[in-house]
Structure 1
């Protein structure tokens, strides 16, 4: 049974939507990793100051 133009368009739309969702997911993962890294980098000096650990930094 041959696909109609509408069916092909719907299939392409679904594929494009899936690609877009994948890109969004990768970007969200990248942002979470960056945010975690930022928190770690900023948190270490604060923690050492707060705990009063001399010479750690």
Structure 2
């Protein structure tokens, strides 16, 4: 009697990286100061990526 076949190994599905944050989940934004014009400064801060909501995975439709 022939040996039983083993099922083929499946590759784990990896979601695509977010195009905006490149998979990190965070983006940098320029700090703005001033009440009316909001002039940009040389400082930057990190913020949550609004495209993927911080997960780093590309959004699906």
TM-score (norm 1): 0.29
Greater Rg over alpha carbons, structure: 1
More strand by share: 2
